[in-house]
Amino acid sequence: MLFVFDNLEIILEKSFGEVLKGKIGFCGLKECVMIWLNLSHFYSSFLVFGSIICLQNLHSETTGKVLCLIICCAVWSALKTINKQSIVIVACSETTLEDSAGLEAGADDIDILPNGLAFFSVGLKCPGLHSFSPDKPGGILMMDLKEENPRALELRISRGFNLASFNPHGISTFIDRDDTVYLFVVNHPEFKNTVEIFKFEEEENSLLHLKTIKHELLPSVNDIIAVGPAHFYATNDHYFSDPFLKYLETYLNLHWANVVYYSPDEVKVVAEGFDAANGINISPDKKYIYVADILAHEIHVLEKHPNMNLTQLKVLKLDTLVDNLSIDPSSGDIFVGCHPNGQKLFVYDPNNPPSSEVLRIQNILSEKPTVTTVYANNGSVLQGSSVASVYDRKLLIGTLYHRALYCEL
């Protein structure tokens, strides 16, 4: 079957002008599921479009199969380059680790309230990613870190919300002036993109679903930071929502990912030019927004203005794939869940699992921020760390699809 994508004209026009503009057909390319990785190598982009030009006159079915093979080879070569990064095994100082009950299938994101209640986004399913519970819907778990031996419990969600297709990704909490707690959840029901707003009802250990948000400027939402009861910044890790166009966008290193501000009155792009905008958070004084660009290995510092626009101040380059960001409210330090070897995330081997790494960034606004490794493991204990959140010298580390760890610093 021949697929013709009208949106491909946008890519060609924005990237190559009038030279390559036009509609091009492909076959079978959706089988390539190597996404979400650092493919920012010029030769990959050159190889893909060079192949398109050379194969345009071939039969459509042949074109698709050959092109798919070429792209897979280019992707694998790029991934092998990433995997050359060395892994340093470092133990948390005076830390005991315990498995967090109920979090065996991964906790991609974690957010902690000032009173020590921690929320976990669990059970994320993504194309190309391994899953230990492929048939189980996602959920939201909670843990009270003030308890002596904290245990995770799953929060009940109000009737009327489609639990069967719940696929939570990034999360963020917001406490209103009347102490109402709102939980914002990036959701991918059937791999689509919505933002769900819940009201947390502590006495019932439940979530009341208030609203589902969809918008054309939210085509590929990854993470979110709430700044009001119905207001937030969100990262789009891709410009397109179509899976095929996402793959192509990554292969061509187009830098079209962005950050969007949403309110009931206004929705707008406030920062763009990212390889793949991922984790997002806000400084304790609410003056700065931090954005992780996972494919570029960077953390961007942006100044927040009264009109909610953002201006980039600086970029911190790191030697690892940076995922979600959490802020220590007492110090302003940034804790980063990282992936030292991206290839292993997508080509899962239980005998050679993906490693985990947590970085702590101090004084990021200074000329020389301090970056230290808080936790690192070769996958024997924790696989694919995606987030690390701190509360009162307690550290929670979540993963894409493995377990979560509770550490006492």
Q: For residue 169, give the CATH number of its domain.
A: 2.120.10.30
The answer to the question of whether 392 is labelled as a binding residue is no
Q: What is the per-residue pLDDT for 17?
A: 41
Residues 275-285 have pLDDT tens digits of 999 999 999 99
Q: Is residue 90 part of a domain?
A: no
Percent of the residues in the chain that have a pLDDT greater than 70, as a whole number: 75
Same domain as 74, residue 129 = no
The answer to the question of whether 333 is labelled as a binding residue is no
Same domain as 149, residue 74 = no
The answer to the question of whether 237 is labelled as a binding residue is no
The answer to the question of whether 278 is labelled as a binding residue is yes
Domain range for 386: 97-408
The answer to the question of whether 109 is labelled as a binding residue is yes
Same domain as 146, residue 34 = no
What is the DSSP pairing of strand 356-362 with strand 370-377?
antiparallel
Residues 75-123 have pLDDT tens digits of 444 444 333 333 334 445 333 334 445 577 789 999 999 999 999 999 9
Q: Is residue 319 part of a domain?
A: yes
Q: Is residue 87 part of a domain?
A: no
- Residue 152 pLDDT class (50, 70, 90 cuts): very high
Q: Is residue 213 part of a domain?
A: yes
The DSSP result for 178-246, as a single string, is T--EEEEEEE-GGG--EEEEEEEEGGGTEEEEEEEE--TT-SSEEEEEEEETTEEEEEES-S--SHHHH
- Residue 127 pLDDT class (50, 70, 90 cuts): confident
Same domain as 24, residue 77 = yes
Q: Is residue 315 part of a domain?
A: yes
Q: Is the pLDDT of residue 286 over 60?
A: yes
Helix (H), strand (E) at residue 70:
helix 60-82
Mean pLDDT of 376-403: 94
Same domain as 102, residue 28 = no
Same domain as 114, residue 57 = no
Question: Of 14, 47, 82, at which residue does a domain stop?
Answer: 82
Same domain as 59, residue 164 = no
Same domain as 168, residue 102 = yes
The answer to the question of whether 323 is labelled as a binding residue is yes
Q: Is residue 188 part of a domain?
A: yes
Question: Of 47, 82, 117, at which residue does a domain stop?
Answer: 82
Same domain as 191, residue 66 = no
Q: Name every residue whose Cβ is closer than 8 Å to that of residue 386 and which is 6 or more positions away in sequence.
A: 106, 107, 108, 109, 323, 324, 337, 339, 398, 399, 400
Active site amino acids: 169
Same domain as 119, residue 73 = no
Longest dimension (CA), the chain: 69
Provide the number of structural domains found in the chain: 2
Same domain as 221, residue 124 = yes
Sheet of 385-391: strand order equals 97-99, 405-408, 394-399, 385-391
Same domain as 173, residue 224 = yes
Q: What is the per-residue pLDDT for 293?
A: 98
Q: Is residue 91 part of a domain?
A: no
Q: Is residue 92 part of a domain?
A: no
